[in-house]
Amino acid sequence: MKNRLRVLRAERSWSQADLADKLGVARQSVNAIETGKFDPSLPLAFRIARLFSLKVEDIFDDEVRD
């Protein structure tokens, strides 16, 4: 599962810790999702989408990572 989280975060000049705070998760979790260690839960995916005012499909891509 690919995602545009790093790009969206960088566009806003947020650190992983900033984003983690806004999402209510640990900094390491944001890092793990950005680096593809695991996928977020569905509730977290919704929180991410809402934070960026985007659809889940516009952030996450149901394909394998390179």
Chain residues that interact with DNA, rule: CB under 7 A: 15-17, 24-29, 31-35, 37-41, 43-44
Structural element, H or E, at residue 15: none
Site for a second copy, rule CB under 8 A: 1, 39-43, 45-47, 49-50, 55-57, 60, 62
Q: Which is nearer to a second copy, 16 or 60 (CB)?
A: 60
In angstroms, give the least distance from the CB of 46 to a second copy: 4
Instruction: Determine contact, residues 59/49, Cβ cutoff 8 Å.
Output: yes
* Helices 42-51 + 16-23 axis angle, to 10: 110
